[in-house]
Amino acid sequence: MDGAGGNGSSGSVMCQLVSAEGEQLGAALYLPHNVGPPQLQDIVNQLLHNEDKLPYAFYVGDEELSLQLGAFMQRNNATAEVTLRIVYQPQAVFRIRPVNRCSATIAGHTEAVLAVSFSPDGRCLASGSGDTTVRFWDLSTQTPLYTCKGHKNWVLCIAWSPDGKHLVSGSKSGELILWDPKTGNQLGAPLT
């Protein structure tokens, strides 16, 4: 089709919407120069009868169409006498479901839990609390393994060694303690 008629020269351009697979979406349309990606997205959703509005990206040749058609035509010195082939591609839709229930609660700390970290193998959880203790938990049984006492202030951070053989905890007073997760015992003297 050729857009050389009166509509082509009076602020509109003949466009053919094409899927990424090359299938034409309906007949070619005269679209005003002020149509941009948001309006093209509405048109594609209507032509495809999408109940939910899906996001699309639009391409002319290898270039993504991010401008209004008139600005795109002017920037690329394109003529309104040729049908503009616009390829539409669906974009990924991320839907996040809110967390609406707790799968498990493990009682143990007497104050707020301020830090948690899973072991590298995922079998154990370590937690640090305002009650100045570090606890190791068995995740398969959801029971405490060890309660480690040694800090004199809130335990604000904990971190596992990459091999899972050690855990270090840090308190509000700037004290670091190294723990053995297999026994729950403190390894060496605290570091400041």
CATH number at residue 161: 2.40.10.480
Kindly give, in sequence order, each residue whose CB lies less than 8 Å from that of residue 190, ignoring residues fewer than 6 positions away: 150, 175, 176, 177
pLDDT at res. 80:
72
Domain boundary among 28, 52, 76: 76
Question: Is residue 107 in a domain?
Answer: no
pLDDT at res. 103:
64
Question: Is residue 96 in a domain?
Answer: no
Per-residue pLDDT 10s for the chain (192 aa) are 333 333 334 588 999 999 989 999 999 999 999 999 999 999 999 999 988 888 999 999 888 999 999 898 888 887 778 889 999 998 877 666 666 666 666 677 778 888 999 999 888 989 998 888 899 988 888 888 888 898 999 999 999 999 989 999 999 989 999 999 999 898 988 888
Q: For residue 166, give the nearest of 124, 130, 132 by alpha carbon.
A: 124
Residue 41 structural domain: 13-76
CA distance 161 to 119: 9
Q: For the chain, what is the domain count?
A: 2
pLDDT at res. 178:
94
Q: Are residues 118 and 182 in the same domain?
A: yes
Question: Is residue 6 in a domain?
Answer: no
pLDDT at res. 47:
93
